[in-house]
Amino acid sequence: MTSGTRSGLAGLTLLVILAPPWMRALLESGMAGHMLLQIPLLVLAGTLLAGFVPDRWRARLATCNRHGLSGLLLALLTLAYWMLPRSLDLALESGWAELLKFATLPLLAGLPLALSWRPLGMIGRGVVWSELVAKLAVLGWLYLEAPVRVCTRYLVADQEQVGQALLVIALLLAVTLTLRAFLVDHGRAGESAREATGTRRQKDPSGRTGHAVQDSPGTITDV
């Protein structure tokens, strides 16, 4: 079994775990579980599913996804929709909206993100990460300060909890990224230089020819 298939199966398994009504009820019972657990996990499942996309398709998609821009835009627009408070409410009220959430977050956010991550390049990925940290922090502050309840299906206390959690996540992410930039990526700079000369390719354990490093799917934690 290739690593791509394994990751795809992991994505499917994650979706199967998230889908049962009791699991949805559990995660959606609070705003934090809905926004900060279920939605990110659905996106993660999508990035794992990218392992199923064969090289042939990747090459074809890449022609209209230079620098990963198209995929990034698609993912951002999809995430923008699911960040609307009324979308969360709708997902709780309507089975169709819930189904739409389970389809669009993996397929229109996670999957295109995974396919675009490498092509985005180091600078592109850096921009995404720093924007993410900034947005999470602003959002957290907004949720703490909002004079109104943004979701009619969730309590004000829930909203404040989400606000605090968003600030903590933003802080942790910022610290992690900074540490990575200094510790991990520093060491990797030499590695990528070797990679450019082709010495790395032969050592790749997956045995696939060509852009083995680029093809490893779902590695969006790579900076």
Site residues (CB under 8 A) for another protein? Answer: 63-67, 69-70, 73-74, 77-78, 80-81, 84-87, 89-90, 148-157
**Based on CB atoms, which residue is closest to another protein, 89 or 222?**
89
Q: Closest distance between another protein and the C-beta of residue 162, in Å?
A: 14
Q: Closest distance between another protein and the C-beta of residue 141, in Å?
A: 17
**Based on CB atoms, which residue is closest to another protein, 11 or 112?**
112
Q: How many DSSP H helices and E strands does the chain contain?
A: 13, 0
**Based on CB atoms, which residue is closest to another protein, 66 or 194?**
66
Half-sphere exposure of 44 (CA within 13 A, CB side): 13
Query: In angstroms, what CA-CA distances link 94 with 18, 98, 152?
Result: 17, 6, 14
**Based on CB atoms, which residue is closest to another protein, 8 or 71?**
71
Q: Closest distance between another protein and the C-beta of residue 222, in Å?
A: 22
**Based on CB atoms, which residue is closest to another protein, 122 or 155?**
155
Within the chain, residue ranges assigned H as helices are 3-18, 21-28, 31-32, 39-49, 55-62, 69-83, 85-93, 95-104, 111-145, 156-182, 184-197, 199-203, 212-215
Q: Closest distance between another protein and the C-beta of residue 67, in Å?
A: 8
Q: Closest distance between another protein and the C-beta of residue 210, in Å?
A: 21
**CA atoms of 7 and 216, how far apart (whole Å):** 9
